Amino acid sequence: GQQVMQIPQYQHVQEGEDFTTYCNSSTTLSNIQWYKQRPGGHPVFLIQLVKSGEVKKQKRLTFQFGEAKKNSSLHITATQTTDVGTYFCAGRDYKLSFGAGTTVTVRA
């Protein structure tokens, strides 16, 4: 069955620095979604990518879908304390499967 892997599991970032989290699927995806879950909260939809090689930006967040539609990345520039939380990717082949997430902490 489909497996969605995310790396790294944890990301400790100095405030102001950039970082990237990666998502890899064992199968080709029709689309991929990204969610953010704050500590103690619930997942909140961030974005959906559909096209091969697609790149979308939301302020300091840049999302990319791989050419083969089997991987994706989320890059955050100039990290702020508000970026704290767990970022999940969810890939859809015949069903939507969530990765285990990258938990981000920020050093002020």
Partner 1 sequence: EAGVAQSPRYKIIEKRQSVAFWCNPISGHATLYWYQQILGQGPKLLIQFQNNGVVDDSQLPKDRFSAERLKGVDSTLKIQPAKLEDSAVYLCASSPHPETQYFGPGTRLLVL
Q: Does 20 bind partner 1 (CB under 8 A)?
A: no
Distance CA 61, CA 59 (A): 6
Judged by CB under 8 A, which of 64, 71, 72, 97 binds partner 1? 97
- In 3-state terms the chain splits into helix, strand, coil percentages (rounded to 5) of 5, 55, 40
59 is a contact residue toward partner 1 (CB under 8 A): no
Residue 99 lies near partner 1 (rule: CB under 8 A): yes
- Cα(58)–Cα(79) distance, rounded to whole angstroms? 13
11, 22, 101, 106: which one contacts partner 1 (CB under 8 A)? 101
Specify burial of residue 69 (Cβ count, 10 A radius: 0-12, 13-18, 19+).
buried
Determine contact, residues 25/70, Cβ cutoff 8 Å. yes
Q: Where are the alpha helices (DSSP H) in 53-107?
A: none
43 near partner 1, judged by CB under 8 A:
yes
> Is 53 near partner 1 (CB under 8 A)?
no
Binding region for partner 1 (CB under 8 A) out of 13-21, 39-47, 53-61, 70-78: 39-47
Q: Does 78 bind partner 1 (CB under 8 A)?
A: no
Q: Name the residues that contact partner 1, by CB under 8 A.
A: 4, 31, 33, 41-45, 48, 88, 90, 95-101
